[in-house]
Structure 1
Amino acid sequence: MATNFSASHTQDSNEIKEMYCEECDSHTGEYATAVAFCVDCVEYKCKTCKEYHRRHFKSHKVQDSDNMPHDFYLEKCSAHPKQLIKFYCSECCIEACKLCKDNEHVKCSNVNHLPTLASGIQNSDDLKNLQQNLDKLSADIKDTEKLLKAKSEVVVKQEEKATEACKKHKDRLVEAFKQQHQDLIDDFDKKMEETIARLKKERLELVQELSEKEIKFKNKITQAETDMKEEVVSSNTEFKVLKSEHLNLVENLEVLTADLEQTQKLGQNCKHFIKLKSTKQLCGNLHRNIEQIQQAYIQHYKFKMFNIQPTELSLESDTIFFTFVEESAVERKVVFNFDIKCDIDLISSLLVLSEQTLLISYYTKFSIPVIIYDVGTSHANYMDDIKFDAKPFGITKVSDYKVAVTFPDKRMIRMITFSEDMKVLDITKIPGNGYCTGIAYRNPYLVVSYWNPASIKILSMSGEVVKTFDKDDNGQKLFIKPWYLNVSPDNTMIYVSDRKEHTVTCLNYDGKVKAVYKDDQLKRPHQLAVDEYGSVYVCGFHSGNIHQLSSDLTKVKILVDKNDGLDQPRSVAYCPNTKRLFVGMPNKIKVFNVSLE
């Protein structure tokens, strides 16, 4: 039965004992034993192909099995894997298949059938000459081996002599070098003893001198501290006086009330009438005093330490070591700004985790890029990209290396813990209790905004609902689409942006509305940021601006707008340490340096 002929069947294989039909191998890929050879075609044929060939090519000389070449060379051509190598070009000194012969050796005049050329190789002059040449090479190699051995003995003796001389010279040089070092060490030890004695004396003198300067410095800074305390105490003297007057008002009111009750009980109508008139007049004075106290101005200030290096010059010349800066207003201005290119088309939320770490929630992708930026320049580098199975939206800081992120589509919140080098250590899922969007952390709770139904919920860190705010005292809806939220620095107020109502609402933690901000220049408010003084910054997505509001949602100013390069600002974050405001827009984050007016 015919079988497939493998390319592994080579001339050296012990399994191949007979030639196969080239016609069958070429056209059907089957193996068939060759029983004839066409001299004109230079091809081996099986019985069937031989009969077919004789019938159609009657002029061709076909040799039978006894007379055909039996020195088979079954290697395939590397250029034509289906062709056997059957020829040898004596001009090019290279073997060839039929295709190579017809194409590449067409101009060669000495291309012959390989088995025919090899038939007389055993008795050829070439083989005899080659054998003689090999015998001569063998004899030359033996003679060369004897010569190399004799020369090697001379080389070894020379090497031994040179090595011994080199070692002796090396030992002499090393010994001389060691002696020089020892001389240097001995000389240094002598100088060191002299120097130590001198330094001990100088140290004693220095200690005495520094001790005297330390006493002077302590006296100076103690006096500066005393002056500072007096200035701080006197900064709100008027308010403290009013506080004392308030106590007097309370006592006077109690006395007047007691006198009226006494004259009324005793039935002393005349005294009661006179007391009533005098009390009425005093009540007017009391109301004016009360109003004065309620409207009393409190001086705001921030303690500031001067960065003084305690050098000898500063100890003798400087007198101011710390002071406080009055902050009569929290209105801020933009000093200069720069951009961070981030190639993110939809920045949902920004979070300043530290002075050099900015996190972005990227709602159109399933990731949160982590950006590390240099606070001293406008240069920023992507550090990592945290992948998720859902789209992140709101993000808030829980601790220095932990954040909480909302995933509205999954109705869940994830707590992400980082290492100091901002590698993710742990991600914990907690129930979101609805389509959660904005999020803020108020120890030990999470404050979250929701759609459908629109509400604000206070959650425990395990996701349990503690409070829900969705209606006011009259049963009316508080919000239509509460988009983002934030909390005040003292954790007493919640600020919520409503993108449908174009408002910002201030609630306390009992759900009572304290203030509502609505302005024609604020359209589609998005993320909110709050600074250390309680000022609120809100993005106007359609109005293209950032509104600065006081803690009671009074408009301070439009801090930046389209003239400052804003285009559809969606997110905002504030860094209290660097006084920088980060505004997220499509494919860019603008960074504004802000300061008090």
Structure 2
Amino acid sequence: MAIAQDKTDNFDDLLTCTICLETFTRPIYLPCLHTFCKTCINTYIKSTVGKEKTTTNFQCPICRQNVLMGESTGNPETWAEKLPGNHFVTSMMDRQAIRRSEKICDSCKANNESKNALSWCIVCGEAFCESCEKCHKSFKMTAKHPIMLLKDIVTNKETLSISSLIYCEEHSGEVVKAYCVDHSVPLCTLCATLSHRKCEDVITIEKAASGITKSEQAMKLSTDLKETSKQLSELIQKRRDLKTDFEKEAEAIFTKVSTIKDNIVEHLNTIEERIKDEITKSKKEVGLKLFEKSTELESLKSTVDNWITIFDTCLQHGSEVQCLLELNRINENKVTFGDVFAKGTSEMKNVSMLLETNDLAEAFADQVASIGVIRLVESDARVPKLTFRKNANFQTGNINVIKVIELTGQSVFLSGLFMRDEFIFTHNQLLKILKYSHNGSRLSELKLSNKPCDIDEISGTIAAVSTDSNNIFTINMNDMTMCRVIGNTFSSHGFCHVNGEFILARNNTLTWISSSTGVKTEQAETNGDTFYIYAQDRKNYICADGTNTVSKTVNDTKVFTYTNDKLQNPRGIDVDTDGNVYICAFSSGNIHQLTKDGKLVRIIPAESVGIKQPCVIRFKKNSNQFLVTCYQTGKVVVCEIF
């Protein structure tokens, strides 16, 4: 395993194995360029292959990229032996050891001995102790090799290459001595003899490497890598922000569910109190009525009971005359008594209290099983695709046609754009949206009810299409299905989508409408011939401003106006990744390239890319590729600037 280290140099992290977290021993690297101790990666491979039961590949412990070893590589326990050594890391370890006066004699180490080195052979790239140096000088082949004392290397202010010899990755033990310019690969003697003997440009490795550290190519790669790292940092932060936003949304839903529950409970409590009040009121009213009726009957009963007492006493103790008189008196009152009794009997009603519940209340648990459904909705985060753009000088580079797509028809308005790795076109004669693969073969199509005019991307899979009937269609380009129709919009030919709005261009009018409702939010006039428009946002746009004029407007102020007699009837407009502006001159048959501040760079003849009347131009995002449609021939050419 690795040896513990004393971190003093600024490249110590480069020399630390991420598995054992110590300085490398026998460093080897994977195709993804991650480096590990040979023993560490061997242990990792055996463990990983055993768990995943694979016999052809394993994953890098850091980036999880697959390392394909193939079917004929034998037992996974031997895979580490087949991985290339990292000579650069080895040389950095040598440099560090020399600076710390810890370098061990390479010859002694090969014989399992350990002696501190005192000198360095620049040719062999090896360190020697005093006795091994003497032996090294005694051989005829190495006697004249220049030797430096390690202490002089440490104090030498000039940069001195102490790198060990670089060995061929294909032929074990062979030193890299040459470089094939034709194939951009380093060569050992066997490589040069066996595989590259017919190559025209084979030079020494020293000549190939001369000046590479300060070359434009190296500087460009360094800049690209730093820019890519910056983009990845931004993407990682974006992902973290999305996670934070998602967690906030989840907490908001928790709160909303709790609030809904509280509102439901509060509403049910209100209903309960209302019913209780009705019950109490009815109970009081009915009770009072029943009490009044009972009081009348009790009074009647009291009278009857009094009559019974009087008449029974009369019968037992009174004279017959007295009995006759009481009998007559009672009979006279019996008529009134009978009426009261009859009335009391007729008014006697059974009063019941019932609760008539509705169906929802009776089966509330069944009918209200949920207050909502949780859905996870994925949408395009509008993060630009991470790419290494090919080196391109947009202002002076050559333009090469890489693909021609023949669309049927002549005198046809065609528009198009790049969506992911596919081409999407509108064809106004066929009333169709056409989808083509990256190699130019037709994949699918969608028939429209109106003639399409222009197309623009809304998200990663959704595009909008303007038509000659003032309708705008939004379409899912994955399965070529209609999403929605925004009707009764304003007249347009070309248009673009920015920040939830469409900017429509037609003749001498620009119209801003909401992309969700189609309602007009703003309108402006131009000097005419405004068929297409390019916009970075709603207040920063470029469009034709006359039959041979194009203007850029920012915050309602024209920042440049470009006019040229060779710019007849400007149509499609787009901008490359460096900010240069491209304008299709429909009638004059050329494409005008301007700087970002409106200065003419060059006029590109349409015939130079195989078309006659350029109509629409669209660049692929973060790329040097663009497409141009031709009105006269119904042809689309895909080009690149290099």
Band the TM-score falls in, shorter-chain normalisation:
0.3 to 0.5
Which of these two proteins has the greater Rg computed from alpha carbons?
1
When you count strand as a share of all residues, which structure comes out higher? 1
What's the TM-score, normalizing by structure 1?
0.42
What's the TM-score, normalizing by structure 2?
0.39
